Amino acid sequence: MKFTESLKKTCQFRTVYSGGKSCADRFLVLYALKNDMDGNRLGVSVSRKVGKSVTRSRVTRLIREGYRLCEGFVAPGCDLVFVARKPAAGAEFEEIRLSVYSLMKRQRLLRL
């Protein structure tokens, strides 16, 4: 059974930032690090530069939903951190979903 937990602690995020590989596009930056677990752990970081709290919450929900839709194709055993960039505040869901998908494809995390 594959499952996705959340990264919650600052030290978990720092580990992924320092040891993981990153790639980026216009809306998001993805950091990925192998974790030797049965499932994946997902972290989403949306800073105050992106917007006020309502906007940040919306962007977080869009990123989580975009990940959820392609979760079935993701190989298990990774810590993933998505960092939102300023243009993500005005992005539609489909743009965020495609961004999540393409970044994971570039990191070779998808099993197709």
- Strands in 21-24's sheet, in edge-to-edge order, are 4-6, 40-45, 78-84, 28-34, 21-24
Sequence-distant (≥ 6) Cβ neighbours of residue 63 within 8 angstroms? 28, 44, 46, 82, 84, 88, 96, 100
CATH number at residue 52: 3.30.230.10
pLDDT-derived band of residue 2, with 50, 70 and 90 as boundaries? low
Model pLDDT for residues 48-104, shown as the tens digit of each residue: 999 999 999 999 999 999 999 998 899 889 999 999 999 999 999 999 999 999 999
What pLDDT is stored for residue 4 in this prediction? 79
Q: How many structural domains is the chain composed of?
A: 1
What pLDDT is stored for residue 33 in this prediction? 95
Decide if 98 is inside a domain: yes
Decide if 111 is inside a domain: no
Q: C-alpha distances in angstroms, 27 versus 11, 24, 52, 59?
A: 24, 8, 17, 10
Residue linked to tokens 């194709």: 73
Q: Side chain identity at 44, as an amino acid letter?
A: V
Total-model pTM: 0.93
In which domain, by residue range, is 59 found?
Answer: 4-106
pLDDT above 90 (res 106): yes
